[in-house]
Structure 1
């Protein structure tokens, strides 16, 4: 098969969908790999490395899209300023696309892919089951986001994270509160602990209590719902009554903490509001909030996506696309996720995937002019495009 790796044109995106080291793997399987020139530059993957691995360099995205059967991407297709067209319009009709697609935030892109009869797999929709773990790009990127969130907070905080005992006196450790103990939250806990902070964490899913304690944090207790998690491993949307009780518990902790890392999200919906404008005032002057749910509306009422704002001497960081801050490692992990999905879909390079397979059925959003995902279909005026 002919596989294409275009340069990402989304503002601020530094990752590349396939690193040179994995081009070699595809070449051994007798695939051809085409890479747009400078596609990996921001991830520190040079054109020379791609050529040495056996890839063919292509001058631009338009030329690339015209000669490949399968496209690996990071960001959903965008409007391409160089050609004045959307990337969806440049894809060959009937091609296969493996990428993050933001299907609930940008259903119009899904509609355009269906119109072009693209078979599109959304990396967000890979199910959280054991045999799909090596394809789970959301978890891989969330691990990086949790790590970077703590480093952002540590860089902004006007005190040190660890306990310091010196001849001049003892400095007490910072206290970090992590809201949401999914993949990003657990990594944030572990990173804050490694830096020497005292860490507390809260999550409405009782099942994560032991996970929180296993990485060194104290679990903030309250009466928790029994059905807080979906069968796919994601947090469920909670009632207004429960959220009000949750905010009361969080409010009691805020005067005692220096840093809050918020990671709470509900798949396909707006992030729950955990910290109101009034609650921000409970934090000590100099405190930091890093909101990893900024793109989904934010867990803090004052969060502005991709902005850092000040309110009552509290800094609120609306963190967006943190994996792009470490593009070398983020690209490596994401490349493995994509390669594993590709090899699962096409084990001999030609086999057609079974669309009744659990992984394929969950991740395949469009095929043959049809939108297959019912949730995405419901967001559009017309569910099926031909």
Structure 2
């Protein structure tokens, strides 16, 4: 079996790093090939030293690969050159990348979506959403600290005492918890809010204050994500958020909903109440934004507040993000690799595979997606 990794457009991360490749090459029947100049942070020689073939011809790799590992979904052009029966594994965004999914169907390429790996104990090591979200939470606070016009820790000097910066984190999932932990390590005073009361203990264990808002019944779905709020609940949340946002120097919003537009939590009316020079990092900018007026991959100033909408925050720390993502991919690969047939078992009786397998043998087989694409 030949595993192939190719260069991607507008992406600083890479699907495999040399240390992770060594684990794959210990499997009988597996070889790994990468495209020349795969990434600027790792040399071709480093890949070759780890036992990988470095190949100039992209078309040759597309035509001969059995399993393709990507960070993001491949282009339609690349899909059209992949051989029938091969397997593509990536962040696929199947609810929006409909042309690519249909391209897989037409080409007879099987496709696995890393976003759809179930959030179960067994699948934790494969959970790329969580590994990348953790880094996004860290980077969000670092970017905020760089942009902010004040320091994070309290500082006592002969010229006077500087109070700690105030950070407000909206959403206490993986990204939010890492943002809380990072802000606390930098010395800030931190508050956090989440629609799920169950996370209060996690927030307080990190030294932050949990902001309680009575939204009625909210809860979370089977994958551990917060349920979407009703319009009435959103209004109550916005009213409660206004005070915490007005008191904050840095706000980090993390409310993403898979397959849906992100909810607007911070309105322009809330922005008007914030101090000029304060900063918001909107982790949901790529899916519509939690902040009214946020622009994806841009920094805009709204009502005197700098709103940062960089979509690919893990890409800001590409080496560690690549290492974590590569480990996620390898854990998934090794879980399903059949040592006798030297193939990847696309066995839908397995809960993990049933959750993340999108296209198989020309059909969309994922129950959640059949309403969009039809099914077998």
Superposition TM-score tier, normalisation by shorter sequence: over 0.9
Q: Distance in 1 between the 2:369 and 2:100 partners?
A: 11
Q: Secondary structure at the match of 1:90?
A: coil
Specify the alignment match of 1:2 in structure 2.
Answer: 2
Alignment TM-score, normalising by the size of structure 1: 0.94
Specify the alignment match of 1:121 in structure 2.
Answer: 112
Residues 1:72 and 2:63 are matched in the alignment:
no
Contact 1:19 1:40 in 2 (8 A): no
Aligned pairs for 1:345-384 within 5 A: 345-348=336-339, 349-350=342-343, 352-380=345-373, 383-384=374-375
Q: Distance in 1 between the 2:310 and 2:12 partners?
A: 16
Displaced runs of 4+ in structure 1, greater than 4 A? none
Q: Cα RMSD over matched residues? A: 1.3
Deviation at 1:7, TM superposition (A): 1.0
Aligned pairs for 1:159-238 within 5 A: 159-238=150-229
Residues 1:48 and 2:39 are matched in the alignment:
no
Aligned pairs for 1:125-140 within 5 A: 125-140=116-131
Aligned pairs for 1:258-277 within 5 A: 258-277=249-268
Contact 2:215 2:236 in 1 (8 A): no
Aligned pairs for 1:274-285 within 5 A: 274-285=265-276
Q: Secondary structure at the match of 1:74?
A: strand
Deviation at 1:267, TM superposition (A): 1.7
Structure 1 residue aligned with 2:78, among 61, 67, 87? 87
Contact 1:126 1:135 in 2 (8 A): yes
Q: Distance in 1 between the 2:268 and 2:57 partners?
A: 47
Specify the alignment match of 2:306 in structure 1.
Answer: 315
Long gaps (5+) in structure 2: none
Q: Distance in 2 between the 1:40 and 1:291 partners?
A: 27
Q: Distance in 1 between the 2:218 and 2:306 partners?
A: 34
Q: Distance in 1 between the 2:97 and 2:309 partners?
A: 20
Q: Secondary structure at the match of 2:3?
A: strand
Q: Distance in 1 between the 2:228 and 2:246 partners?
A: 27
Q: Distance in 2 between the 1:307 and 1:281 partners?
A: 20
Deviation at 1:378, TM superposition (A): 2.4
Deviation at 1:347, TM superposition (A): 4.3
Specify the alignment match of 1:83 in structure 2.
Answer: none
Q: Distance in 1 between the 2:69 and 2:336 partners?
A: 13
Structure 1 residue aligned with 2:288, among 294, 297, 300? 297
Alignment TM-score, normalising by the size of structure 2: 0.96
Q: Distance in 2 between the 1:352 and 1:257 partners?
A: 50
Q: Distance in 1 between the 2:57 and 2:141 partners?
A: 38
Deviation at 1:227, TM superposition (A): 4.1
Q: Secondary structure at the match of 2:343?
A: coil
Contact 1:235 1:265 in 2 (8 A): no
